[in-house]
Amino acid sequence: MAVPPSRPTDALLGERDRTIDCLRGIAILLVVLYHWLVRWTVPEFEHDVTAWRHVHSPVFLLGRYGVQIFFVISGFVIAMTLMRSASALEFAARRFARLFPALLLAASLTFAVSRLHDPFALGVGFRDYLLNLTFIGSMLGAELVDSAYWTLSVEVRFYAFAALCWFVLRERFWIGLIGFALLALAADMMEPRLGKLFLRDYNAFFLLGVALWQIRRGVGAGRGRVSAGFLVAMAVLAYGMTAGQFHEAGLPDWAPHAFVLGAMVLVVLALGGRLRLNSRWLAWVGLVSYSLYLLHQILGIHMIRALRLLDLPDVVVFPLTLATFLAASHLAFTFVERPGRRAIMALWRRTAAALPQMRRQPAE
């Protein structure tokens, strides 16, 4: 079903899309499985930090590709949000309000715990902690408070590219996004670091999300299909040119590609309106997924280690840790993420309303 142009897209302004939340729930559970079961064990890490009683299957390595689902969702939602933002400043305020409150809480808690005990050898200092709050700490040379935060830098760069394209090209913004993706591939041939700067490895997923929004928004039959077609073609090209990143030691070469492509089929069917996901539990996990993503890795491993000291079996430790972090994420969403977003947007609205009046005042 096409999304009416007047439908609010911000979760605080209107009804949430349960299908999107279910996809977020699937994505975050995949990432949690990867981080808790195999990320901090040999051979992924130099030694076993988690101290699980059993060695878990390398198939859980595929959970790392849950972030690709998040990137497709971002392409979809950001295209939607840009079209509802009156200015680039409003769009920036919306994104800051969405990301910062939960990041401040999670980064502060993780930094405090890591300063007390750091089995991960992260070596994060106070300067690193402050730079992490900019969303692009890794680009500024900071150690990440939690290695999962690398995706924030990727997301923020996509926001910047998409906003530039929209506020310059408006309805033709998709042409600019394709241009950035081509620039990333060309730059990579000259200097790989430039390719990474322009999101060489992730443009395929963001572009797919934008294409799905073009389809869902019900753009006039011809133009909508043309723009979506070009975006999908560019996404396929970008994926093909960067396919080498999808490989895992201990798994057949085809396994990561099959997993990623299977996930993309699920996302296309869901965001394209052909498949409705309607699980209340999974949608709730998706609702708190951002807080869970920021909180779960380092703090979760600390809890797993503590429970293992009690010699509890793995089948008790994992669900107990998951339940604890789901509850913590719900609290973070309820008392920090959501009210923080409301407060920042209220401040933005007051500021935006005052700006025209300030401009009209004569200089003293």
Q: How far apart are CA 195 and CA 304, in angstroms?
A: 37
In a domain, 338, yes or no: yes
**Axis-axis angle for helices 18-34, 280-287 (nearest 10):** 70
Per-residue model confidence (pLDDT) at position 14: 36
Per-residue model confidence (pLDDT) at position 16: 61
Contacts of 4 (CB under 8 A, 6+ apart): none
Per-residue model confidence (pLDDT) at position 4: 36
Report, as ranges of residue numbers, the positions in the chain whose pLDDT lies below 50. Answer: 1-15, 220, 363-364
Q: How far apart are CA 61 and CA 110, in angstroms?
A: 24
Per-residue model confidence (pLDDT) at position 357: 60
Three-class secondary structure of residue 49 per DSSP: coil
AA identity, residue 39? R
Per-residue model confidence (pLDDT) at position 363: 46
The two three-digit tokens of residue 7, written as one number: 């439908």
In a domain, 364, yes or no: no
Q: How far apart are CA 200 and CA 197, in angstroms?
A: 7
pTM: 0.92
Per-residue model confidence (pLDDT) at position 55: 84
Per-residue model confidence (pLDDT) at position 163: 97
The domain in which residue 140 lies consists of: 18-352
Q: Calculate the alpha carbon distances from 280 to 84, 285, 286 in Å.
A: 27, 9, 10
Q: Calculate the alpha carbon distances from 215 to 79, 109, 163, 171, 329 in Å.
A: 12, 41, 20, 14, 33
In a domain, 269, yes or no: yes
Is the previous residue joined to 339 through a cis bond, with omega within 30 degrees of 0? no
AA identity, residue 18? R
AA identity, residue 206? F
In a domain, 24, yes or no: yes
Three-class secondary structure of residue 79 per DSSP: helix
Per-residue model confidence (pLDDT) at position 222: 58
Spatial contact of 101 and 337, defined as CB atoms under 8 Å apart: yes
In a domain, 305, yes or no: yes
Spatial contact of 314 and 53, defined as CB atoms under 8 Å apart: yes
Q: How far apart are CA 30 and CA 174, in angstroms?
A: 30
**Dihedrals φ, ψ of 56, to 5°?**
-90, 150
The two three-digit tokens of residue 39, written as one number: 């990320």
Spatial contact of 46 and 290, defined as CB atoms under 8 Å apart: no
In a domain, 313, yes or no: yes
Per-residue model confidence (pLDDT) at position 359: 53
Per-residue model confidence (pLDDT) at position 113: 95
Q: How far apart are CA 259 and CA 27, in angstroms?
A: 12
AA identity, residue 241? M
Per-residue model confidence (pLDDT) at position 54: 85
Per-residue model confidence (pLDDT) at position 355: 74
In a domain, 159, yes or no: yes
**Placement of tokens 């025209």 in the chain:** 356
In a domain, 1, yes or no: no
**Which spans in the chain are helix H?**
18-34, 66-84, 88-116, 126-132, 150-169, 173-190, 192-197, 203-216, 221-241, 254-271, 280-287, 289-309, 314-332, 338-360
Structural domain total, the chain: 1
